Structures are given as C-alpha cells and as structure tokens.
Amino acid sequence: MEIKSTIAALAALAQETRLAIFRYLVVAGPVGAPAGKIGALFKMPLSTLSFHLKELKIARLLESRRDGRSLIYAANFATINQLLGYLTEHCCAGSACAPAVSQPSRKGAAR
C-alpha cells in the first residue's frame, strides 16, 4: 500500500463514528448492511451517515452494492489488510515491533 492510500485509510478510521461503523461492518462480514440499518443503529441524520459512508468508501475501506432501493455496504478486508501490512512493515519493523514493552494482555492473546 502506498503512502497516499495509507493516509486516506488512517484518516477515514480516525473518527469515532466511522470507526464504529467500520467495526460494525467488519462483524457483519461480506453480507454487509443497508445504509438505513446502519443509520438506525448509530442514530444520526442520514445525510451525516452518508457523508461518513462516503469517506470510508473513498478510502476503499467499504464497498457498496445496490439491492432494490437499498445500498448495501460491506467492509473491504483487502484494504484493512493492506493498511495493517503497511504499518507493520514501515512503522514497526527495522527496530522490531515485538511486544517490546508492557501490553496488558487482556484476552487470551489469540494467534
């Protein structure tokens, strides 16, 4: 992933509403969810929701397809993967990004 798209993805996720929407759609999986359903969940004007969906889509973190009158949004896992790849490669490696320091270990440290 190049720097421009990295910045775009970071900026898209660096907003509470959008991060929440994205997380929701990650859980929803490839099936996704229609804009209306998302709007009902995260209560806000539909124009505001639409703005955030657009931002996420521009950053290629979401994809959308039409189903009747509904637009179904779904997470684009390739992009989040690429972002993770970039961060791991450029912002960790070299100086080793292993659990160098603390890291509370809240869960079972899966994988």
Partner DNA sequence: ATTATATTTCTATATTTCTCGAAATATGGA
Partner DNA sequence: TCCATATTTCGAGAAATATAGAAATATAAT
Q: Is 65 in the site for its own copies (CB under 8 A)?
A: no
* Site mask for its own copies (CB under 8 A), range 6-45, x = bound: xx--xx-xxxx--x--xx--xx-xx---------------
Residues making up the chain, counted from first to last: 111
Question: What is residue 65's DSSP assignment?
Answer: E
Cα–Cα dist 3/10, whole Å = 10
Q: Which of DNA, its own copies, none does residue 85 bind to, with CB < 5 to 8 Å depending on kind?
A: its own copies
CA dihedral 93, 95, 98, 102 (to 10 degrees): -140
- From the CB of residue 5, how many other CB atoms can be counted at a distance below 10 Å? 15
Least distance in angstroms from the C-beta of 32 to DNA? 10
Site for its own copies, rule CB under 8 A: 3, 6-7, 10-11, 13-16, 19, 22-23, 26-27, 29-30, 75, 77-78, 80-85, 87-97, 99-103, 106-107, 110
